[in-house]
Amino acid sequence: MRHLFRALQVVMFLSLISLPLAPVALADRGMVPINDVSVYGPGQKAIIAWNGEEETLILSTDVTASDDSQVLELLPLPSKPEIKKGDFASFEQVNLLIEEHFPVTSWDRFKEGIGVMGPPGRGVEIVFHEKIGAHDITVVKADDTAELIQWAEEFLKSAGIEKQISSPKLESVVASYLDQNMKYFVFDLIEVTAKPKSIEPIVYRFDTDFLYYPLKISTLAEGWTDINLFLLTPQPVSLYDLSEGSTLPQDMEVGKFYGGKGTQPIQFEVNEEELISIDESIAELLGSNAWLTAVSYHGDLASLTEDLKITRVSLDAQLIFDYGPGSCALRQESQAAVGVSDDVIVIRGSVVTPTPCYELRTELNLPLTFAHHPTINVDIIAQEKPGICIQCLGGIPFWAKIVNLKPGLYDIAVRYQDKVIGRKTVVIPLSGELEYLALSPQATLEVSTAGLEFIVRVDGEKLNSGVVIKAILNGDDPGSHLVYLQFNNVTHGVIIEVDNVTAIVKISPECQLKIEDSQLFLDNGYRLLPVQVMPEKVVTDLEPGYTIELKAADDKAVYEVQGISSKELLGLVSTKIDMVVEVDASTGEIISEQKPWWAYLCW
């Protein structure tokens, strides 16, 4: 029953095949019914591991139909995959890892194929065919929509099924994938019944320079769906700040856990042993550690007009480094201090060497990142100089700058002899942007959505969403505030920065943004909700790394702040407190506060 209680707590449906009360969720493939019945996708579930060059995709299918039927499942991929049988244990292990990172208290419990390879068309090449358990899988490479659909009908005919599957919807969806150079299609003919049926997972491994999960193909099925994806990546993923070239279905969000510590995003770091427990090939792909991020979508399959596609960001940062002459060390440990000046990261420190006669060099290790809080490692290497030297421990001072970083949050780690000697999370502010549009005090800025379109207008004139806007806004105090706004067309998000503190607004029909007469508002479709309190006033007690979301709730503009506060238990023992606070953005009053019960003992 413990697993069942947890499934009731997590917004995403974390049911596993081992649980007798919960069906396995549906994988992502497009489903084409062979009989004239409606096929429904009650859910989708997949584990997606990506290292920037290759992806491993583990799918487990559970589908139901209005009557017994055969279903041809279709999965588009960016390159030819390697295919093998998976294990339900992979999904069980993901759930166990989530349980470990989000432990349940007693209080929380009160909050539950058949088929034969057919003849190829003229433009269709069969590149793989194998029967794996209940799956009879064929992978083809295609260049033409009509020929691919013709091949699929001949494929079915050779299996004893006379069925024309061609339709304007299927042709349109297939053509859209071919236009994106997605030429590989996996065909899997399976039996489905009116009763949900679980089929063993399949593991696909393929080359791709972007994290990929096909969702648009799911519109070939009908109905309401719950989609739960477990992303394993070298760096944490933020759906609020995806890079250019990424795509994201509307209403797809990071999954959340509701427990004694409040609402928490399901995102945490996993080690090599934990990766192996999920699947050995994933550990081989990602190495010693990775980040697990759970994302979910709950809605109509017909609304999945975009695939999940996350592109990597190449950091163009440069390191400027210098060091001084060595001398007998004044201290016994190496150390470094990290700071930021405008848009430059500044590092200063000293390292201890066996003698003063050493020279230093550095390496700047830039990570694969998704524009969200990447860790940048500065490695310092000491090399002995030839010749005679005074015999004492050496101390060598050094100075460094990291330049050309884009605005954002960065975790800077300075390492020497496999040890971190200095670390700090710093912010490169939007104010460091060289180009921005200054909004006049009389101008009106409106940010809204129209269908899938993200629209930024100033005085009715539509702007490029890539622009950074600088504005002077009135707040709840006598003075004014210098504010920078940046827009993300992929996520329909707005970043608002005041005094190097940022808040994110996710634009939707129920939450649009407006600046009028130097006053910031959210528009919930019925009225304008004033934002008088600026975001820097709601994080005074939190460590760097917090997140702030500005949203419309109950006819108010509200800040939802998640972060960690450092306190002393009983004034004696240092401890960290996870907090989720909602603050009225008009008055600054705390609406709700979620933290451990023992937090009142800390100050």
| 261-309: pLDDT as tens digits | 556 788 888 999 999 999 999 999 998 889 999 888 888 888 888 899 9
Residues 275 and 375 in one domain: no
Residues 265 and 355 in one domain: no
- For 484, counting Cβ atoms within 10 Å of its Cβ (0-12 exposed, 13-18 middle, 19+ buried), the class is buried
Residues 233 and 346 in one domain: no
Place of tokens 């238990």: 569
The number of residues in the chain equals: 603
Residue 252 has pLDDT above 70, yes or no: yes
For residues 237 and 269, is the Cβ–Cβ distance under 8 A? Answer: no
Tokens describing residue 69: 């039927």
Lowest model confidence (mean pLDDT) among 54-68, 266-280, 397-411: 54-68
Q: Which of 145-149, 166-170, 191-195, 526-530 has the highest mean pLDDT?
A: 526-530
Residue 421 has pLDDT above 90, yes or no: yes
Does residue 593 sit within a domain? no
Region label for 465, one of left (φ > 0), alpha (ψ between -120 and 50) or beta (otherwise)? alpha
For residues 158 and 114, is the Cβ–Cβ distance under 8 A? Answer: no
- For 185, counting Cβ atoms within 10 Å of its Cβ (0-12 exposed, 13-18 middle, 19+ buried), the class is buried
The CA–CA distances, whole Å, from 460 to 343, 443, 464, 519, 526 equal: 33, 10, 13, 17, 20
Residues 241 and 100 in one domain: yes
Residues 106 and 187 in one domain: yes
Residue-range definition of the domain harbouring residue 423: 318-428
Residues 182 and 283 in one domain: yes
Residues 457 and 476 in one domain: yes
Identity of residue 462: K
φ, ψ of residue 358 to 5 degrees: the values are -130, 150
Does residue 536 sit within a domain? yes
Does residue 155 sit within a domain? yes
For residues 493 and 562, give the distance between their C-alpha atoms in angstroms, rounded to a whole number. 18
* Residue that finishes a domain, picked among 556, 577, 593: 556
Choose among 535, 556, 548, 544: nearest CA to 506.
Answer: 548
Does residue 350 sit within a domain? yes
* Residue that finishes a domain, picked among 397, 428, 459: 428
Residue 354 has pLDDT above 90, yes or no: yes
What's the N-to-C CA distance of the chain in angstroms?
38
Place of tokens 């989720």: 580
For residues 414 and 349, is the Cβ–Cβ distance under 8 A? Answer: yes
Region label for 531, one of left (φ > 0), alpha (ψ between -120 and 50) or beta (otherwise)? beta
Residues with Cβ < 8 Å from 368, sequence gap 6 or more?
51, 52, 233, 234, 235, 312
Residues 267 and 236 in one domain: yes
* Residue that finishes a domain, picked among 261, 283, 310: 310
Does residue 582 sit within a domain? no
Q: Does an H or E element contain 4, and which?
A: helix 2-9
For residues 151 and 180, give the distance between their C-alpha atoms in angstroms, rounded to a whole number. 21
Residues 389 and 460 in one domain: no
HSE toward the beta carbon, residue 258, CA cutoff 13 A: 12
- For 420, counting Cβ atoms within 10 Å of its Cβ (0-12 exposed, 13-18 middle, 19+ buried), the class is exposed
Q: Tell me, letter by letter, the H, E, C secondary structure of 471-493.
A: EEEECCCCCEEEEEEEEECCCCE
Average pLDDT over residues 227-253: 83
For residues 280 and 278, give the distance between their C-alpha atoms in angstroms, rounded to a whole number. 7
Does residue 584 sit within a domain? no
φ, ψ of residue 153 to 5 degrees: the values are -70, -40
Confidence of residue 124 (pLDDT cuts 50, 70, 90): low
Can you give the pLDDT at residue 4? 27
Can you give the pLDDT at residue 129? 63
For 272-302, give one letter per residue: b (16+ CB within 10 A) or e: eebbebbbebbbebbeeebbbbbbbbbeebe
Lowest model confidence (mean pLDDT) among 19-33, 242-256, 274-288: 19-33
Residues 374 and 468 in one domain: no
**What's the pTM?**
0.72
- For 165, counting Cβ atoms within 10 Å of its Cβ (0-12 exposed, 13-18 middle, 19+ buried), the class is middle
For residues 338 and 345, is the Cβ–Cβ distance under 8 A? Answer: yes
For residues 400 and 320, is the Cβ–Cβ distance under 8 A? Answer: yes
Does residue 247 sit within a domain? yes
Does residue 578 sit within a domain? no
For residues 395 and 349, give the distance between their C-alpha atoms in angstroms, rounded to a whole number. 10
Can you give the pLDDT at residue 414? 95
- Number of folded domains in the chain? 3
Place of tokens 């009135």: 474
Residues 283 and 389 in one domain: no
pLDDT in tens, 488-525: 877 788 888 888 788 888 888 889 999 999 999 999 88
Average pLDDT over residues 68-91: 83
Residues 360 and 477 in one domain: no
